[in-house]
Structure 1
Amino acid sequence: MSGPECCSNPPTLNPNAGTGHVDKLGALNAYITGSPNSNSAVLLVSDIFGYEAPNL
């Protein structure tokens, strides 16, 4: 079970790190890149462990 410390320190999204921009997606900040005319998308959504499996 995770405590509040896991979610109280979100990463800083740097808009200068790539070709996209930081914008609101619902109530969350999201890094958005690609064509605004695109018909499809790839979403990477992670839990508190990140995108890779934790080493247990």
Structure 2
Amino acid sequence: MKRKDLIRFLEAMGCKLKRHGGKHDWYVNEETQQSQPVPRHGEIDEYLAKSIIKKLSK
């Protein structure tokens, strides 16, 4: 999955950028207060993308 597609999906779910890290950006779902790192790679593994979406959608 392309990183920009994952970011668009997360923002559509209501997640917002919390902070920039060294090699990751941290996104937080403000409803559930869950946060997850999103790597700054151009292409993100499908399993990792699904895991990030699942954890932020709880």
Shorter-chain TM-score range? 0.3 to 0.5
TM-score by length of 1: 0.33
Bigger-Rg structure (1/2): 1
- Which one has the bigger strand percentage? 2
TM-score by length of 2: 0.32
- With a CA cutoff of 8 Å and minimum separation of 6, indicate the structure with the bigger relative contact order: 2
